[in-house]
Amino acid sequence: MIRNGVPWPNGARCAAAITFDMDADSILHLQYPDDADMRVATQSFLRFDPLVAVPRILETYRRFGIKQTFFAPGWCVERYPGTMEQIVKDGHEIAHHGYLHESPNKRSREEERYWLERGSEAIRKVTGKNPRGWRAPLYDFSKNSLDLLIEKGFIYDASLMGDEVPYILRSKAGEVIELPSEWAMDDAVHYLFSLDLKLMMPIQSPDRAAEVFLSEFEAACEQGGLWVTTWHPFISGRRARWRRVERMIEEMLNRGGVWFATMEEIALHVQKCIKAGTYKPRVDELPIYDGRIPELPKDAKGEGL
Ligand SMILES: [Zn+2]
């Protein structure tokens, strides 16, 4: 059980953030640099994201009067300016999700810094300010990520899964708030089927996925917790799934005691509670490891589970 809930505004039992990772077709170009242009069906599958799904999602948010967060790779921000402007105009948050969805784990510290800066620049152009939050593409937070986030003034990260409530990531350089994610709350595991992307999950019914998401919500409410989704417009923004999400938001609002907010608002609130001493988060010191653990034999190559 969670012993240590955040005192949310207006006595809410749960803070809820529907976060969308607006990957669009960045992931196709990254995976197939030389022949992404040939893969028109997958392009269309992914471009559904900014062209059809996001307008649909924004309309729902307008109807419910909620403001939420979109994590976007910088390339998508530049490629789909009309969609991004609409997100900003409606008062939602645009947060950082890499530049071309590149994995930080596969890059040097310098390369990671370069892509972080390039993604921030794209977001600044459309929002007029620096992004405050980041989710690593594929959750691939590297051992350099925290220091770079601190260096660039980010206040929160949403890539890790080390707790169910907000906690602190601390290094010698400083700290950021972690608003954790979780695989069960990621729509890809429930629905994503794409031969080109080599992700072939058995497609669940919208009711089945909603059952998982709502059971997480119920548990978060009972425990004074946090409920954060990792959804993708091209996956969850399809009609039957989105209809189910609309019903789900309605159920959540009717239940009462839920604070729908952007991740930035949640992080700022948590910061305030920490300062006031009304919330004492757990602290994770990073890096957890630096290099191979000494217990491994020198010739160990790596083997499966
Ligand atoms: Zn992504």
Is the residue at 161 inside a domain? yes
CA of 11 from ligand 1 middle (Å) equals 33
CA of 301 from ligand 1 middle (Å) equals 30
> Of 134, 129, 128, which Cα lies nearest the Cα of 116?
134
Q: Domain holding 15: CATH number?
A: 3.20.20.370
pLDDT at 304: 82
Tally the domains of the chain.
1
Q: Are 158 and 205 in contact (CB under 8 A)?
A: no
Is the residue at 293 inside a domain? no
CA of 188 from ligand 1 middle (Å) equals 10
Domain span holding position 188: 9-285
Is the residue at 256 inside a domain? yes
Is the residue at 298 inside a domain? no
Radius of gyration of the chain, Cα coordinates, nearest whole angstrom? 19
The token pair that represents 296 in the structure block: 């491994």
CA of 85 from ligand 1 middle (Å) equals 20
Q: What angle do CA 61, 53, 194 make, to 5 degrees?
A: 135
Give whole-number Cα distances, 179 to 124, 159, 200, 265, in Å.
22, 8, 28, 11
CA of 276 from ligand 1 middle (Å) equals 34
Residues around ligand 1, an ion, CB closer than 5 A = 21, 23
pLDDT at 126: 97
CA of 275 from ligand 1 middle (Å) equals 32
pLDDT at 176: 98
* This model's pTM is above 0.85: yes
CA of 105 from ligand 1 middle (Å) equals 14
Is the residue at 292 inside a domain? no
Amino acid at 141: F
CA of 58 from ligand 1 middle (Å) equals 19
CA of 23 from ligand 1 middle (Å) equals 5
Tokens 């620096």 locate to 130
Is the residue at 208 inside a domain? yes
CA of 71 from ligand 1 middle (Å) equals 8
Is the residue at 303 inside a domain? no
CA of 280 from ligand 1 middle (Å) equals 31
CA of 300 from ligand 1 middle (Å) equals 32
Is the residue at 1 inside a domain? no
In the chain, the largest separation of any two C-alpha atoms, in whole Å, equals 60
Angle at which helix 54-64 crosses helix 81-89, to 10 degrees, equals 10
pLDDT at 301: 87
> What one-character DSSP code corresponds to residue 168?
E
Please, what are the averages of pLDDT over each run of 10 residues along the chain (305 residues)?
80 97 97 97 98 98 98 98 98 98 96 98 98 98 98 98 97 98 97 95 96 96 94 98 98 95 98 96 95 91 83
Q: Are 94 and 87 in contact (CB under 8 A)?
A: yes
CA of 205 from ligand 1 middle (Å) equals 22
pLDDT at 3: 62
pLDDT at 124: 98
